[in-house]
Amino acid sequence: EMVASGEARKLAKNPAAYFIERNDGLRTTLLMLNGVQSDYTFAAKVKGMDIQSTQFFLSPVPNVTYSACLVSKIEEMFRTGVAPYPVERTLIVSGALESCLTSKIQNHARLGTPHLNVRYQAPKHVNHARE
């Protein structure tokens, strides 16, 4: 509704769209719509299904809940000596974002990302915020 009415276009501060194609052929689009949406949202077209979507609510500032959950995982790592989730996940997310921003300052050039050619397996145990 916000898109159809033109409201999103009015509210977006420095909007950006990044098109990402993975080595396995999966194509994704990262939209940065500051001023329109402050939570994290996700939508996907899945063959044979309706569009799948979800919203990850971010609590208002100060974001104490998020910080407490992050600190809990840091404490767990110090206690056990083992990272609570694969570091590859952080590398992939931060590396992809860095490449998107580099592309932007290089006049939206298509970039290769050999630094993101890492194996990642999602952990069986889900680390959702529970605190």
pLDDT in tens, 63-90: 677 778 888 889 999 999 998 888 898 8
Spatial separation of the C-alpha atoms in residues 94 and 100, rounded to whole Å: 10
Categorize the per-residue pLDDT at 95 as very low, low, confident or very high, splitting at 50, 70 and 90: very high
Model pTM score: 0.72
Nearest Cα residue to 84 out of 129, 130, 128, 127:
127
The residue type of 83 is A
